[in-house]
C-alpha cells in the first residue's frame, strides 16, 4: 500500500510536469552526480531546478560538482566530497540578499559583481569569515587546512577577533600559514578545476536532452526498488509508466533525465553499472 501511494505521487509528477519555478533564495543550475540535499533531517538527491532554502545542506560525492544561482545573481560552484551549509532569511532575496555559505568540507567558488543587487554574504571556512558585496573568491576546507583566496573584487576577512579589508587580487588567507603553496597562475588553475564541471563526467542541466534508463518494463515493486536505491546513492531517478496491453498490469521504467549530451549520458551509465550494477542505457529523451 505504501509503495502504491509513493508510486502514485511520482506518476502524477511525470504526467503533469514539474511545478512552475517560484522565486526563492537559490536555485540549482547544474549537477554532476552523485549529490544530495539535506533538509530538516531528510536526504534527497540534488536536482536541477531544485530550490535551496535556509538551513539546507548540500553534499557531493566522488567526482561530483554542483552549481547554484543565488536570487540576486551570484554564482556558487561546489566541488567533489564537499559539504556546504546554506543560510538566508532575506524577505526579498532578488533585491537585498543577506546570508551565509558555510564551507564545512571541500572546495567552493563564489562569483558576484558589484553591479548586481545589494548583498551581504558571508563565506565561512572554519573560524575564518569572508564578507563580500561583490567579489570572485575561492575557498576550501580540508581537515585542519582552510583556505580563502580573493581572486578579484573586495572582501572583509574576519579571523581571531580581527577584521581586515582586502582588495588586492590573488590574496590568499590560509590556516595554518603553511597550509598552501605560493599562489601563481598554475596553482590557481589547479584549484579552479576543483569546482569546474568536468566534461564527460555526467552533467545534468535544465535543457539536457539525454537520459539514462536504469530499468525497463518492471513491476511496481521492481521499479520502486531501483528508484530507492539510485536516489539513496545520490542519483535523481524518476519513474515513468509504460503503456500496457489491455487487461495487463502497467509496467514502469526508471531513468535519469536532463543529461547535457550523449557523452554525459554514457558517463552516468558507466557510473551506475560500476557502482550499483544496473544495466544502464543512454538514450535521447
Half-sphere exposure of 238 (CA within 13 A, CB side): 20
Contact call for residues 46 and 34 (beta carbons, < 8 A): no
- Look up residue 126 and give its DSSP letter: T
Is pTM beyond 0.85 here?
yes
Question: Does residue 79 have a cis peptide bond before it, meaning omega lies within 30 degrees of 0?
Answer: no
Helix ranges (H only) for 138-202 are: 185-193
Question: Does residue 82 have a cis peptide bond before it, meaning omega lies within 30 degrees of 0?
Answer: no
Kindly report, residue by residue over 181-206, the tens digit of the pLDDT.
889 999 999 999 999 999 989 999 99
Residue with grid cell 560538482, as numbered in its chain: 65
Which three-class secondary structure state does DSSP give residue 56? coil
Kindly report, residue by residue over 258-276, the tens digit of the pLDDT.
999 999 999 999 999 999 9
Full set of structural domains in the chain with CATH:
22-193 (2.60.120.1440), 203-284 (3.30.70.1070)
- Look up residue 64 and give its DSSP letter: -
pLDDT bracket for residue 23 (50, 70, 90): low
What confidence score (pLDDT) does residue 182 get?
86
Amino acid at each position: 500500500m505504501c509503495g502504491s501511494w509513493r508510486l502514485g505521487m511520482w506518476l502524477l509528477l511525470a504526467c503533469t510536469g514539474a511545478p512552475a519555478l517560484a522565486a526563492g533564495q537559490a536555485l540549482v543550475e547544474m549537477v554532476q552526480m552523485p549529490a544530495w540535499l539535506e533538509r530538516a533531517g531528510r536526504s534527497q538527491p540534488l536536482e536541477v531546478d531544485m530550490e535551496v532554502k535556509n538551513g539546507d545542506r548540500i553534499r557531493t560525492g566522488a567526482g561530483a560538482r554542483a552549481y547554484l544561482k543565488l536570487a540576486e545573481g551570484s554564482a556558487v560552484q561546489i566541488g567533489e566530497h564537499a559539504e556546504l551549509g546554506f543560510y538566508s532569511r532575506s524577505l526579498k532575496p532578488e533585491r537585498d540578499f543577506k546570508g551565509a555559505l558555510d564551507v564545512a568540507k571541500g572546495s567552493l567558488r563564489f562569483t558576484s559583481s558589484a553591479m548586481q543587487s545589494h548583498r551581504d554574504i558571508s563565506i565561512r571556512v572554519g573560524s575564518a569569515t569572508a564578507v563580500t558585496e561583490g567579489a570572485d573568491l575561492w575557498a576550501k576546507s580540508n581537515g585542519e587546512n582552510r583556505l580563502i583566496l580573493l581572486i578579484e573584487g573586495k572582501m572583509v576577512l574576519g579571523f581571531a577577533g580581527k577584521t581586515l579589508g582586502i582588495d588586492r587580487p590573488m590574496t590568499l588567507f590560509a590556516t595554518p600559514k603553511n597550509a598552501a603553496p605560493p599562489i601563481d597562475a598554475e596553482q590557481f588553475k589547479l584549484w579552479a578545476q576543483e569546482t569546474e564541471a568536468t566534461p564527460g563526467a555526467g552533467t545534468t542541466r535544465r535543457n539536457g536532452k539525454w537520459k539514462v534508463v536504469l530499468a525497463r518494463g518492471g513491476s511496481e515493486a521492481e521499479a520502486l526498488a531501483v528508484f530507492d536505491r539510485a536516489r539513496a546513492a545520490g542519483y535523481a531517478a524518476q519513474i515513468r509508466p509504460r503503456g500496457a496491453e489491455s487487461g495487463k498490469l502497467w509496467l514502469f521504467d526508471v531513468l535519469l533525465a536532463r543529461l547535457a549530451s550523449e557523452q554525459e549520458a554514457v558517463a552516468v551509465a558507466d557510473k551506475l553499472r560500476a557502482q550499483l550494477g544496473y544495466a544502464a542505457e543512454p538514450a535521447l529523451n
